[in-house]
């Protein structure tokens, strides 16, 4: 199918676009596509949470940004929903998994795409630099290993 240069990205993606669960997730996914940022959508990820291993499906996982997880939290006005968001933030931190949470206000304004990409780049740089100097242990936890000669 031929498209003119003025055809909207949404129309060009059509059936190739993942079945996003919300308009906000679709905005983030299209932004990642537009900027050429590789991602996995809802990739099963093992997280140690509440005393056992669980399989979560983060909204986006960015392999070229230190496996940065990007979660879209679309209902910040609902207290129970935000309790779940805070729990996810704590669990990701406890598992040493870099995560960036985006909210509806992050996807507003003329320059929101540039600001979100800057936040992704910054978070990805932090994730990569934190992995340097660490050695993965047998349980997946990271620990320092000092080497003396």
Domains of the chain, first to last: 22-129 (3.40.960.10)
In contact, 98 and 121? CB cutoff 8 Å: no
The mean per-residue pLDDT over the stretch 56-60 comes to 96
Could you tell me which residue, 149 or 68, shows the higher pLDDT? 68
Plot region of 19 (φ>0 → left; ψ -120 to 50 → alpha; else → beta): beta
Q: Where are the alpha helices (DSSP H) in 35-131?
A: 79-94, 112-131
Most confident of 9-13, 15-19, 38-42: 38-42
Helix (H) or strand (E) holding 32: helix 23-34
- pTM for the predicted model, two decimal places: 0.74
The mean per-residue pLDDT over the stretch 60-73 comes to 95
Residue 129: per-residue pLDDT = 73
How sure is the predictor about 27, in pLDDT bands with cuts at 50, 70 and 90? very high
DSSP 139: T
């Amino acid at each position: 199918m031929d498209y003119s240069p003025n055809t909207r990205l949404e129309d060009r993606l059509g059936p190739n676009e993942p079945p996003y669960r919300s308009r906000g997730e679709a905005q983030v996914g299209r932004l990642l596509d537009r900027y050429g940022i590789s991602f996995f959508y809802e990739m099963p990820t093992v997280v140690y949470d509440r005393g056992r291993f669980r399989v979560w499906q983060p909204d986006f996982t960015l392999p070229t940004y230190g496996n940065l997880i990007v979660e879209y939290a679309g209902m910040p006005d609902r207290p129970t929903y935000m309790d779940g968001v805070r729990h996810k933030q704590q669990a990701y931190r406890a598992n040493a998994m870099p995560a960036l949470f985006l909210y509806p206000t992050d996807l507003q304004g003329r320059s929101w795409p540039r600001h979100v990409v800057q936040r992704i780049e910054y978070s990805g740089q932090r994730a990569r630099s934190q992995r340097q100097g660490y050695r993965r242990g047998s349980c997946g936890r990271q620990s320092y290993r000092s080497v003396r000669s």
